[in-house]
Chain A
Amino acid sequence: MSEPDPGLSSGAVVAEPETLHAPPPRLSSPLARLALDFCASRPAVAGLAVILVVAVAAIFAPLIVPQNPYDLAQLDIMDGTLPPGSPSYAFGTYWLGTDVQGRDMLSAIVYGLRISLLVGSVSVAFALVIGSAVGLVAAFFGGGLDSLLMRIVDIQLSFPAILVALILLAIFGNGVDKVIIALVIVQWAYYARAVRGSALVERRKEYIDAAVCLGLGTRRVLFGHLLPNCLPPLIVIATVQVAHAVALEATLSFLGVGVPITEPSLGLLIANGFEYMMSGRYWISFFPGVALVVVIVAINLVGDRLRDLLNPRLQR
């Protein structure tokens, strides 16, 4: 940001820093209040910090980790199944040990986090968009369309997500994209139901009548007026669903129907280490699992706090 030059005072330039350095009115904005309330809970802040650190590590994985775990030229088969803390010939130390092909587990975990978080966040984003569109349409138009859509939602939600995803992947085959598609299909119904619930309440309020009376288009009323007011519960569900999606993906990959062997997520790393665990070489399964649990707990802590803050029944 450039410092305004006092010599060249034109109205706009002088006005800018004043609005930037005016904390009291800013604090009363709903978002800032939410942030302040959020920080009051220490576990939630810790969870958020963990998420940020993990996300940054996953995004910049190639710059951080000592080894590209999927570049076979960098692997040394002689370094296979070394326990944590063993010295390496190529670089420093294998802090978390190596797998049977001599792959540094720490590097593999960071790369695995990448896939897990990618699948989790992308699938939630798509499910959120599709689900809320369906929910809004159902609530706004009502009637036969509403009951048809909600019947589909009911039927789908009466089957456990893991089973539906398992069957879809048995049909689709392996692949990151296919896992994402399966997770979107599994998850959209949650959002559809939640949005419909709050939209049914909101659409009876006067501001929607006003917007309709002003002659605004249906799309504008739906997405410009109705949707923003249905957002709070959606944010909570979306947060928790990211954790759910990451866990579900790991489970599917563990069962061998998730991501392919060339792009291992945390679940596949754990599955690969399963057979070595019986002989006491625990680290191949143990550390990816710890990473998985840390990520899921962190997301759930944040989600829990958000639920408390955004729940209208608990609002002060």
Chain B
Amino acid sequence: MLVYLIRRLGQSALVLVVMAVLVFIGIYAIGNPVDVLISPEADLAEQQATIARLGLDRPLWEQLWLFLVNAVQGDLGRSFVHGVPALRLILERLPATLELALVALVVALSVGVFLGLWAGLKPDALLGRSIMTGSILGFSLPNFWLGLMLILVFAVLLQWLPAGGRGETVDLLGIRTSLFTLDGLSHLLLPAITLALYKTSLVIRLARAGTREVVLQDYVKFARAKGLSPSRVIYVHVLKNIMIPVVTVVGLELGSMIAFAVVTETVFAWPGIGKLLIDSIVNLDRPVVVAYLMMTVFIFILINLAVDLLYSLLDPRVRLSEAGA
């Protein structure tokens, strides 16, 4: 177990460094930020001064080395546009994205497991079949278009819910959250549904497949034969066992939710890190793009590790040393 953990952490560190180098060199190749940042009226001396201040006059390898040395010390560079450390910019926006992703995850899990269980118990009934057809639709609806249509219906036509922004927030342990105000929740609803739909379809399919397998198992038959009530059989014996694949996939999907939040945040003008990334790509704000990527890679590695460990707890048959080979 310890050997496995050390090996995994070593691998993760390697991936992080390789990603840092690749991303830095790749981002270095895009455009010339000087064109965007310096006003066209600036004279040559001012231009040179700005270039020197941003460190853009040094050779690539020197910039890369400086970046790596600083990154190890927790400094991912200063934003060209905002003039503040890129990491601080990202950490300020991160709670908004995490809030959105977590709410969407909870929606996807609760709705998905419920509908999937239902469809799995009655695969041939009309409802079961319509749930499955609906899940194909859920897979197929492009995330951003769904967001647009929700805005069209609920914000433009019905005017029930706001079309964008985060609304009123309150401080909770130093983190701003919109979960505890009515206004904040009304702003959160549409983006969360948009982000959740794809995962809901995924969970429906997993839960249905799991249910269909589990209900045929001997322990379920035995539980029934023992005279347990049908609801106890379903909610204890079946539900517990379909959760193993669901938890693994959903854990991994939390990472992709953060990535997909880029799209949802752009549609709903949600002030999270995804919107920050798109703005930074447009503005050629290299340090922020690089810092965003380092942050996301870090989060992903963390999530993957956590899922692997959780998996071995949920399913004792999984031996971690084998997985590491």
Q: Which residue of B lies closest to A248 (CB)?
A: B142
Q: Annotate A223-249 by CB proximity to B: 1 below 8 A, 0 otherwise.
A: 000000000000000000001000100
Known contacts A162-B260, A170-B289, A243-B140; A274/B148 CB under 8 A: yes
Contact A163 B259 (CB under 8 A): yes
Q: Which residue of A lies closest to B143 (CB)?
A: A251
* Complex Cα spacing A274 to B266, Å: 11
Q: Is B173 an interface residue (CB 8 A)?
A: no
Contact B136 A300 (CB under 8 A): yes
CB-CB < 8 A to A171: which residues of B? 26-27, 29-30
CB-CB < 8 A to A124: which residues of B? none
Contact A296 B140 (CB under 8 A): yes
* Complex Cα spacing A301 to B139, Å: 11
Chain B facing A: main interface SS: helix
Q: Which residue of B lies closest to A162 (CB)?
A: B259
Q: Is B3 an interface residue (CB 8 A)?
A: no
CB-CB < 8 A to B278: which residues of A? 255-256
Q: Which residue of A lies closest to B15 (CB)?
A: A155
Q: Is A282 an interface residue (CB 8 A)?
A: yes
CB-CB < 8 A to B152: which residues of A? 277, 282, 285-286
Contact A255 B263 (CB under 8 A): yes
Contact A170 B30 (CB under 8 A): yes
Min Cβ gap A27→B in Å is: 29
Contact A304 B136 (CB under 8 A): yes
Q: Which residue of B lies closest to A295 (CB)?
A: B140
Q: Is B123 an interface residue (CB 8 A)?
A: no
Q: How large is the interface on B (under 10, 10 to 19, 20 to 34, 35 or more residues)?
A: 35 or more
Q: Is A262 an interface residue (CB 8 A)?
A: no
How many residues belonging to A are interface residues under a CB distance threshold of 8 Å?
38
CB-CB < 8 A to B304: which residues of A? 158
Q: Is B300 an interface residue (CB 8 A)?
A: yes
CB-CB < 8 A to A108: which residues of B? none
Q: Is A166 an interface residue (CB 8 A)?
A: yes
Min Cβ gap B268→A in Å is: 11
Chain A facing B: main interface SS: helix
Known contacts A160-B256, A163-B296, A285-B148; A254/B263 CB under 8 A: yes
**CB interface residues, A 143-184, toward B, < 8 Å:** 155, 158-160, 162-163, 166-168, 170-171, 173
Q: Is B52 an interface residue (CB 8 A)?
A: no
**CB interface residues, B 272-319, toward A, < 8 Å:** 277-278, 281-282, 289, 293, 296-297, 300, 304
* Complex Cα spacing A21 to B144, Å: 52
CB-CB < 8 A to B26: which residues of A? 167-168, 171
Q: Is A118 an interface residue (CB 8 A)?
A: no
CB-CB < 8 A to A257: which residues of B? 281
Q: Is A59 an interface residue (CB 8 A)?
A: no
Question: Which of A160, A173, A243, A286 has most B Cβ within 10 Å?
Answer: A160
Known contacts A158-B304, A170-B27, A301-B136; A293/B255 CB under 8 A: no
Min Cβ gap A29→B in Å is: 30
- B residues engaging A (CB < 8 A)? 15, 23, 26-27, 29-30, 133, 136-137, 139-145, 148-149, 151-152, 156-157, 163, 252, 255-256, 259-260, 262-263, 266-267, 277-278, 281-282, 289, 293, 296-297, 300, 304
3 tightest CB-CB pairs across the interface, nearest first?
A160-B256, A160-B259, A163-B259
In the complex, given contacts A256-B278, A270-B144, A278-B163, what are 18 additional A-B residue pairs having Cβ atoms less than 8 angstroms apart?
A158-B255, A159-B297, A159-B300, A162-B256, A163-B259, A166-B281, A168-B26, A173-B30, A250-B145, A255-B263, A257-B281, A274-B148, A285-B148, A293-B141, A296-B140, A296-B141, A300-B139, A301-B136
